[in-house]
Chain A
Amino acid sequence: MEGLYAFCVGLLTACGVFLALRGRSFSVVIGLTLLSYAVNLFLFASGRLKLNAAAVLGQSEEYSDPLPQALVLTAIVIGFAMTAFCVILAMRARADLGNDHVDGTLPMQPNDAASKSEGNH
């Protein structure tokens, strides 16, 4: 179970980081969402993984650590608010700046540069 869990968290993080490094705000927002999912799962696992263990005392022989669950709950709420803000900001930037690149201007494409230098000759 631990291996699979760790693999999933790692995969989510890798995809999140990759997407967050992209230039378009849409993929960046998706990347941030994936990162926050990865973070939530990771925080959940920081109290150790256990099967059939309630987080409430007296409900079972073994009990799991309730604190990470409280932390994850807070982190989920904050993560949602932040992602929502980021989506709205991305839409605002698209409207204000006329494109959805995070820098506000589109980078020059290789063929654009080529045609430009041809025009100069």
Chain B
Amino acid sequence: MQHLSIFPVLIPLLFGALMLLPPISRNIQSQRIASIVGTLLLLVSSAFLLYQVNNQGVQLYALGGWQAPYGIALVVDKVSSLLVLLTSFLAFTIMLYAVAGQDKGGAYFHPLFMFQIMGINGAFLTGDIFNLFVFFEVLLIASYALLIHAGGKQKTQAAMHYVILNLVGSSLFLFGLGILYGTLGTLNMADMAIKVGQLEGETATLAKTGSLLLLVVFGLKAAMLPMHFWLPKTYASATAPVAALFAIMTKVGIYSIFRVYTVIFGDNAGELANIATPWLWPLALLTITMGSIGVLASPSIRTLSANLVIVSSGSLLACAAINSEAATSAALYYLVHSTLASAGLFLLADVVARQRGKAEDRFVHSRPFVQPKLLGFAFAISALALIGMPPLSGFVGKIMILQATQSNAQTMWVWPLLLIGSLAALITFSRAGTTLFWRHNGTMATSAEPAKTAEIISIAMLLLASPVLVLLGGDISEFTQQAAFYLHDIQSSAYDLLPGVAQ
């Protein structure tokens, strides 16, 4: 399958466009069927793509036959195919949840969802930094509209901040791109990685400015410390399926940081080698700290989940700052785990909120649940996974990160912060669990109805991914190690992609 590489971008694009056409656009039922079929197709093709990459190595897809570095290229390596598979799985499970009724809140939920998936997959696959910008904008404009899905004052208020911040971020992205193009004369990531080593003196300083501007932009998407204030409010006010899909959005920023600062500005960048590390290191640690404080202060499950997203972003950024193969491999494993687990918690929070009437998902006394055992069990699993308690994948991921620290200084900072962060999560989760499930009064809300089967299946799929990640832990960590090796090896991540360039 020569064209398989572009399927993760094409399938959502075509299905999204299809759903805007008359026979389907008027009927929510057929839109739902189209969405489920579309995301299922996407899941199958990305699984097949991963299989192909694993067997045959990196796939280079030149759009329109224009060869890199002049044309636009999609690069499907182990890192990007893993993340595309993760996105597709997430899209399928969230769509399963949304078709149970959450998609009726506003118009065009299904097409927008598809376009956002297209943007995310495109950002993971592209090998060209300008196309990274374009796909960023595609996923952002879809996310702006999805954020205000179902309406309401809170959503508009959160959307205002989110949209303005991201528009400023986009401008900075273009400034950074312009500077890098002006100094390097290319936008293909592999080509940039080769050329950046030759820069000297003033040009190098200029390129450094450009690359640090890019770090600000990626940091904004990844919720790095000074730029994370938009996240809790945005995620907590979004509708459940949208918030769950947003769990992968910060990871797009993290992925870009890994891609740009290990491949282009990595060890081989001459004067500009590892320019991001001195910034990433303190900011990552402070992000973990601030996230943990936020976790302790969370008044509801949704805010708690949003703050846990910040903590996981901080941990991933710390891995990027450690800048070694082991750390990158740990980061990839932890990224998959934290995306799935926090998406599951966002969906669970919605079910909890609907069964408790006015108390919603806040940690206060309220009516008993319609399905206390089922929800309690699901809450316990997601708590174990997100805290990082032994049997589940959070534990394995955190152990891998802790083991990846190399020098004494790194160990001294990362170990306590990560472990105290876990303790904060443990405290909040036990407080939340006891209040939500054990201390209730009055009678059941008459309007409350049990969660629908599709919703339960969707949450179960997301939460059970955690034990599966542990059971298949050996294979997955071997895969992430190979992926990390590829990312750190300039020979394969840059020179092999450009056959015409002399070494």
Contact = CB atoms under 8 A, between A and B. Distances in A.
B40 interface: no
Given A46-B182, A102-B161, A89 B156 contact: yes
A108 interface: no
Nearest to B174: A39
Nearest to A92: B156
Interface size bucket, B side? 20 to 34
A95 to B, nearest CB: 9
A82 B141 contact: yes
B137 A78 contact: yes
Given A85-B144, A89-B159, A32 B167 contact: yes
A64 to B, nearest CB: 13
A6 interface: no
B160 interface: yes
A93 B167 contact: no
Interface in B150-178: 152-153, 156-157, 159-161, 163-164, 167-168, 170-171, 174-175, 177-178
Given A20-B168, A71-B130, A74-B134, A46 B156 contact: no
Contacts of B168: 20, 32, 35
Contact of B181 (A67, A81, A86): A67
A102 B156 contact: no
A103 interface: yes
Interface in A85-99: 85-86, 89-90, 92-93, 96-97
Nearest to A32: B167
A78 B160 CA distance: 18
A81 B164 CA distance: 13
Given A20-B164, A86-B163, A93 B156 contact: yes
Contact of A89 (B144, B152, B177, B187): B144
Interface string A23-50: 0010010001001101100110111100
B167 A97 contact: no
A75 interface: yes
Contacts of B130: 71, 74
Q: Which of B157, B161, B167, B175 has the most CB of A within 10 A?
A: B167
Contacts of B144: 85, 89
A89 B182 contact: no
Contacts of A82: 137, 141, 167, 170
Contact of A102 (B164, B171, B181): B164
Contacts of B141: 81-82, 85
B10 interface: no
Contacts of B187: 67
Contact of B174 (A43, A47, A85, A104): A43
Interface in B208-257: none
Given A78-B137, A82-B141, A46 B164 contact: no
Interface string B113-155: 0000000000000000010001001000100110010001100
A35 B171 contact: yes
Q: Which of B141, B160, B179 has the most CB of A within 10 A?
A: B160
B160 A89 contact: yes
A93 B181 contact: no
Contact of B179 (A35, A46, A85, A102): A46
B174 A93 contact: no
Contacts of A71: 130, 177, 181
A39 B137 contact: no
Contacts of B156: 89, 92-93, 96-97, 104
B181 A46 contact: yes
Interface in B283-314: none
28 contacts: A20-B164, A28-B164, A32-B171, A38-B171, A39-B171, A39-B178, A42-B175, A42-B178, A43-B181, A45-B178, A67-B181, A67-B187, A74-B130, A78-B137, A81-B141, A82-B141, A82-B167, A82-B170, A83-B167, A85-B145, A85-B163, A89-B144, A89-B156, A89-B163, A90-B160, A96-B156, A97-B156, A104-B153
Return the 9 tightest CB-CB contacts between A and B, nearest first.
A46-B182, A104-B157, A46-B178, A39-B174, A35-B171, A43-B178, A96-B156, A46-B181, A78-B137
Interface of B: 130, 134, 137, 141, 144-145, 148, 152-153, 156-157, 159-161, 163-164, 167-168, 170-171, 174-175, 177-179, 181-182, 187
